[in-house]
Structures are given as C-alpha cells and as structure tokens.
Amino acid sequence: MSQHEEELRSERAHVAGLYERLDAERARVDTRYRQALRDTSTSPMERDVEVRAQARELQRLGVADHGLCFGRLDATDGERRYIGRIGLFDADDDYRPLLLDWRAPAARPFYTATAAHPEGMRRRRQLHSRGRRITGLTDEVLGRPDGETAGDAALLAAVNAPRGEGMRDIVATIQAEQDRIIRFDHPGVLVIEGGPGTGKTVVALHRVAYLLYTQRERMERSGVLVVGPNPQFLNHIGRVLPSLGESDVVFATTGDLLPGLRVTAEDAPEIAELKGSLKILDVLRAAVADRQRLPEQPWEIELEDVSVRIDAATAEWAREEARDSGLPHNEARAVFVDVVGYVLTERATARIGRGWLTREDEEWGNVREEVRAELAEHRGLREAIDALWPELTPQQLLAELYTSPERLRAVGAEALLRGDGEVWTVSDVPLLDELVDLLGEVKAPAAEEDSEAEYAAGVLEILQVERHDLMDDEDHLLAQDLLHAEDLAERFVERDTRELAERAAADRDWTYRHVVVDEAQELSEMDWRVLMRRCPSRSFTVVGDLAQRRSAAGARTWAAMLDRYVPGRWAYRELTVNYRTPAEIMRLAAGLLGEFAPGVTPPDSVRSNGVEPWCRQVAVSEMSGAIADFTSEESEREGTSVVIGPPGIPGAVTPTATKGLEFDAVLLVEPAEILRTPRGAADLYVALTRATQRLGILHTGPLPDVLRTREG
C-alpha cells in the first residue's frame, strides 16, 4: 500500500469516528428535546426556551451530514487541527476539540497560510468527500517557496463543477482575500465591491455566518435581514446560510419590506428616479399637510338647543396645536378634536345660558356636561372632523394623491399622476413605509354602529377634560403607575410560537441586528431610509458593483448613499479575482466594460477553460429554431443553462432577471437591442458574465462594435 493510500485509509477512519461522535451528539440532543416537550415541572415560558434551544442545536448538528470534515492543518509543533462545518468536542476529555468550526480563530490559517507566510503551519490538507465518505485528499506543503499548490486544485475543481439549482457554500475553498473580508471586525457598514464572479454574495453570506458564530447572543435575538434584487436571486442564495446552520434570517426584496403589501408593477425609469430621491419627502409631507384642511365656509353643528359653527379661525387654531404636538397625523387628530370640541362646548354653553346663567353658577357645569355629551354623539361633528382632519392609511393617502390632479398640483408632483392609484410598484414601498411614520396608527375598522359608539366615547373622554388643565392636574395618572404592557402580555396573551424569521418578516416595526444588501448599487436614497429604520445599530454588509448599476435612482458613489447615515463608520473592501467567469469570456466582457466604464478595472479570472465564446448571425425566421437547438443541446449536458435577451424574445429572460445568478451555459440573443435599452451597456455586461463554461451569441442585425471580433 502506497503512502497516499495509507493516508487516505487513515483519514477515512478518522472522519468515520467524527460521524459516530456526531450521531451520538444528535441522539443526546434529540432526547433532551423530547424531554423538554413533555416537561410539566416548569413554566410554559421556561419550557419554550428550552425547547427552542434544543431545536436550534439539533438544526446545527443537522447540517453536517455532507462534508462534515473537509480539511486538516498540521502545525510545526506537531499539533493537528481538523477543520469542518461545525465544531465537535470530547466531553469525556475536558471538552477537547475534535473538530474545529471553520469560523473559529484557530481554523483561520486553513484559509490564510501560504508558502511564504505559513503562520506556524507546515501542511494544509484538503479532504474531498461524497456524502459521509472521504473520496480523496490533496496536500499543500507550507513554509517553503517551492511548496506545492495542490490547494488550488480544490478551488479549481469547485469552480469547474457543474452548477446546481442554487448557490453553494464555499467553506472548504474560501480564499485568503475572501477570508479577510469574512472575518473583518467592523461595527458599522462594510461595503464589498467586486466585478462579476468575484464571490461578493457568497462572501457576504459567510460573513453573516461568521458574525452569528462570534456574536451569537446579540445576533440571534433580532436576526438578520438579507435583501436581494428579485425572488429568483433569493431562491438561488437561500440555501447557503441554512447549509451553515443558520436559520434566523429573513430573505426579502425591497418590495417585500412592507408586510401585507402586494407589489405588481414597475415604474418608468424617470418616475422611479423621482420617487427614489429624498426630494419626495417634501411631497409626502405636503400631501399629509394638504389633508389637514380649513373649512371654506363655516361648518354648522346643529345641537338640540343651539347652533354652533366650526369657522376657519377655530379650525386653524386646532390645526396649529395638532401640528405643534409633534405627533403623527392620526395621533395628532385627538389634539385637533380636543381644541375644536373645547371651543364648541364653550360657545354652546355660553349661548344656552345667555341672560340667565353665569360661569359661577353651579348649573353652568351641568349645562356644559350636557353639551359635551351631545357633541360626543353628534354625527355632524364627526363628519366635520373627518373632512378637516381625516384618519388616513398610507395606501389610502397615496392612492388618492396619485389619482387626483388637484392634489398633485397642490404638492408640486404632477408627474406622479396615474389611472389606478392602488397598483403598487417597487418604488412605492419606501414612500408607503415613510407614510407609516408620518401618519401613525389607524384603528382597526369596526361595524358602523360599533364605530360610532367608539367615536362618541373617545370624543366624550377628550371633552371631559378642561383643555388648559391637562398639564396642571397633579392628580392625573402618572406613567410609572401603569402596568407595563409586556407584563400584561405575559399574563393574558398566548405566547407567539412562530420562528424568529417568520415573526420578523410579518412585522414592519421589527429591527434587525444585521442587514445584508446585495446588488446595493440599485437601491435609491429612499430605499436606504427604509433599511436604516430596520437596523438602528447600523450594522450592514453591503454588496455591489457600481459598474453594473442600471437604476437611474441607484448609487453613483457609496459615499453619496452612506455618509448621511454612518459618517466615518463605513469601510470599503474590494474583491479582485473572478472565480466564475473563464478568461475567454471575461476578455469579451472587459472590452464592453472599457467602453461604458473606462475607469473600472475588470476582475482577473482565476481560470481558463479553453472554450472561446461564439457569435452567429441568423435570419429573423431562423432565430426561434436556433434558440431551440441551444436548449436541446444543453439539456443533454450536466449543469444549468439560460437564454438571455431583450424583452419580447420567446424563451428568453432579461438581463435584469439574471443579476447575481450563474449558469454553465448562456445563449445571448440580440445584444444590440439590449444595448439600446436604458442602462443597456450595464445590462449587456451582466448578460455576458453569467456563464461559467460556455457563451454563445445569436443576432439578426449587426453586432455592437465591442463584440464583432468574436463573430464566426
């Protein structure tokens, strides 16, 4: 038996022992989980905490069936460190580490040690596996200039492997450049920029896994939000974090950030740019103020014994008091009602008692109480209040604004006029989210008779307090005398047993410990306001490539978007190596990049596969057959393929739909038409860089100049 075969046999036996340890640990945790479910000796809250803790541990142990151990480090002092997806310890030997989690500090040399800088290591061994069985190993000798580079073989094997249905984790092949970013200790915003294929997204996701490992207690209480450009992209990346044992993560597009809202359309570029600018804030504030109106004519309120009026002066006083309260619109309505009700009560009482009653008389108070009660139930007063200071939802205000030329003219936003106010677009989401704060809560709708009774009770409660005595009454109930809402909830409300990610996704006011933003160059200024609300700690991993920006509302510089929120608290790191796109394809894409972004250096491809991209001109009548031939040919091969083209090509997807995705083979159709669309150069650049193996181009008209050298 050769030394290599002996080493392989030894490693197989060692890893088999690790799996035995894993299975034993799973059985132990499963027993504790089942016991916790049956335990009646503790409170429901304590039992719930224990059940969740054991369930999380079961999940952590459940990710390691495939590729549990993928590496070994041999130190110069003879120590051996096995590296894997999770950590395992020997409970019988003072918890001696049997397997190091890839995120542990002691595992870092596996990714960063080099021949020139061995970091105390003499050998790095990579273990290749299928399921639970070790199929091979490669060694890299460290500490000498002529050390072998077998570690590169593992990387090349990974990037050359056919693509599956989703993104894979890279724990076994993280490169030093990537590792430095994954472990970068920065409390604010980290921007990761890199061209196509540099692994920006997967590095960001592994950074989340690393933060969850190093800051578990803080991170898991609030969870992580991952924002991507479209649902297809989120599906593509959705398995990476669960494969690393992390589930307290919400995946969303910017259109998903307002729970319950259904986005069905997309604005024209110029409208999206207007809505994405911070200038729209003035429009929204003006639109709210426009609904706080003064009566054009005095509003008559006919009571049983007297008639009183809400005139412009009364309404203006009430409006100014409500606005000065600093409360959101719907909450400030109570102040408006308070002032109007106070004025009407005093006027009506004075008129009823004119000539026979003075304020000093005891009967004055009785008359005033009768007036208050009548006003509280008066339908006319309610109609007046609803007209002058209506209770509004964000959707109601925005829909009525979009469909009213008069209201749009009043706030200086005539360009936003549209026929159907309730067909929501992605660009509407940050506006609606802003209005949630500007308007405040709206009470849940009730049956008409219940609503009227509730309204009357509310008005009566307001009117029962002298307006000018509100802040002077020493006997009023103080905040510290109240039972805390959390205490009340624990007593009377059934505990929410949903998983953290499910609860967070359904709650607009949920705040996350960390947010990942992918394709961040596409986000508008208003999008960033939404995200900053979701993460008060301002802990972000931002991923993007300014050269691929296609949205007119998107980022032109990172500073323009971030300095407003985290001045001096954001850091920039760049990825420079392309692990996805072969050099043959990248040379073609780099020519286009030089045309529309001459100051941007394309990433260096880590490999060449010897397959040149091809171009072929066909007649219009032949296009569908040529596409079908490509699809049929690729269906016989292992891996994934896609047809990318401008809108309207049967069987093709647009470049925008493929952002962040990768395929073994790409057929690009009618590149000249793509180039003629808004931000067409960026779209064409995206399309050219999706392939990991093969790229073909079909066209009916002349090729763009930057692609003509490849025709044939």
**Residue list for the binding site for ATP:** 194-201
Cα–Cα distances in Å, from 225 out to 8, 341, 534? 42, 46, 9
**DSSP string over 506-556:** T-TT---SEEEESSGGG--HHHHHHHHHH-TT--EEEEE-GGG---TTS-S
Strand order in the sheet with 641-644: 614-617, 691-699, 663-669, 641-644
Beta carbons of 605 and 702 less than 8 angstroms apart = no
The amino acid at 69: C
Output the known binding site.
Answer: 194-201
Element (H, E) at 704: none
- CB contact burial 105-125 (16+ within 10 A = b; e otherwise): eebbbbbbbbeeebeebbbbb
For residues 455 and 169, give the distance between their C-alpha atoms in angstroms, rounded to a whole number: 57
Task: Using alpha carbons, select from 142, 202, 196, 149 the residue that is nearest to residue 178.
Answer: 202
| Cα dihedral sign, 185-190-194-197 | positive
CB 285, CB 315: distance < 8 Å:
no
In this structure, how many other beta carbons lie within 10 angstroms of the beta carbon of residue 409?
A: 11
Yes or no: say if 689 and 547 are a contact pair by the CB < 8 Å rule.
Answer: no
Cα gap 616→627, rounded to integer Å? 12
Q: Judge contact between 200 and 545, C-beta under 8 A.
A: yes
Q: Which two tokens stand for residue 173?
A: 């092949």
Cβ 645 vs Cβ 652: under 8 Å: yes
